[in-house]
Amino acid sequence: MSHGSLDRLALDDDARRRLRFLVTALGLTSVTRVNRLLDGSRGETSAEHSWHLALAAVVLGAGTADGVDLAHVVAMLLVHDLVEIDAGDVPIYDAHARAAAAEGEERAAARLFGLLPPEEAEEQLALWREFEAAESPEARFARALDRLQPILVHWAGDGAAWIERGITEAQERELVAVVEEHWAPLAPLASALVDDAARRGLLS
Amino acid sequence: MSHGSLDRLALDDDARRRLRFLVTALGLTSVTRVNRLLDGSRGETSAEHSWHLALAAVVLGAGTADGVDLAHVVAMLLVHDLVEIDAGDVPIYDAHARAAAAEGEERAAARLFGLLPPEEAEEQLALWREFEAAESPEARFARALDRLQPILVHWAGDGAAWIERGITEAQERELVAVVEEHWAPLAPLASALVDDAARRGLLS
């Protein structure tokens, strides 16, 4: 058995580029986050997180994001974490590490999206940069969801990963503030989850 | 520590319904498929599969699905496997089991989408039924992707799961035929992957 190479496939360059991007993207199923799965068996992967976020955009957008192009939000969320394939996941609690990671993520984005046919590489890179800049309404809503979703996952797992890492109520209140800053209508949801977690003693 | 209940959260019924749906949807991270991850460590989850399919719709749709509403395809793919939370995953090789599973999946869809506010429950249920019916161009393209993606994942993993289960070339050719039937422009991709797999002896 020899190792597979897309170069040997009877396809044109365009199709080969698209498949190479999709095969490479599968690497996001090996990037594990701090959040635990509901069944506690392992950490959530960034691929699973991306799916759940895209679903959350549809479900929460209907209630809280009138006038926002939700399809555009979903497109952004599907690719927002791909850079982690090269650069790894940086926990949201570590502001210093997040700043240091920015350069590596920019290189990763250039390499990964650069696998696509040139025009689409530009489009996807622009989507990723839009998310990172968090300026357009779509990117602000997406960013708020990206901070709310881990709170929901931790809460749903009875705070196992919060307790394990000694996460404090103040740290979660900071995340609620980020949600509030980016998309205020989502803040009450984040607040209600943190209030309940604090009441149940799941946060230090 | 007490177990979490959304009923105790200081939120209105609408927000509570949306969060309940999203927490329940996390169950898709515990549904494991036959496909192995690239690193071989475990089976791909249906949540990861759903994410990768949505990404594939964007990336392959640009080349092969002119005139198709890709945002609608993505919306369909994000929820197409949710019924597996209640009904489990049925391997695509087992036609008899798939027919028998249909009734359970209909019940699962009613329960899961029924967690949402009524109007959106109807919308999401309609999306799921559209995918199952495979009649609209969007659903046909989505269905073709749903058959192509496992071929790509198996191929990328050097056929480990094919070999383990003794999957034959004829079985994979049947899947290529399903791709061809639903969305012919994707068939050459599926064919090229199966040709290469057969040449490398990854299929019985």
pLDDT digits (tens, 9 = 90+) for A84-98: 999 887 776 777 877
Q: pTM to 2 decimals?
A: 0.94
Note whether A4 contacts B62, CB cutoff 8 Å. Answer: no
Residue A172 has pLDDT above 70, yes or no: yes
Asked if the C-beta of A192 comes within 8 angstroms of chain B's C-beta atoms, the answer is yes
Compare all CA atoms of chain B with the CA of A188 and give the residue at the minimum distance. Answer: B11
Compare all CA atoms of chain B with the CA of A197 and give the residue at the minimum distance. Answer: B4
Residue A40 has what DSSP assignment? S
Considering CB atoms only, which of A50, A56, A201 is closest to B22? A56
Residue numbers of B between 104 and 143 with CB closer than 8 Å to A: 116-117, 120
Compare all CA atoms of chain B with the CA of A116 and give the residue at the minimum distance. Answer: B59
* Proportion of chain A above pLDDT 90, given as a percent: 76
Predicted complex ipTM: 0.94
Note whether A200 contacts B2, CB cutoff 8 Å. Answer: yes
* Proportion of chain B above pLDDT 70, given as a percent: 97
Report the alpha-carbon distance of residue A142 to residue B72 in Å, rounded: 19
At B63, the pLDDT band (50, 70, 90 cuts) reads confident
* pLDDT value at residue A1: 41
At B32, the pLDDT band (50, 70, 90 cuts) reads confident
At A2, the pLDDT band (50, 70, 90 cuts) reads very low
Burial annotation B50-65 (CB, 10 A radius, 16+ → b, else e):
bbbbbbbbbbbbbbbb
- Considering chain B, what is the average pLDDT of its residues? 92
* Proportion of chain A above pLDDT 70, given as a percent: 97
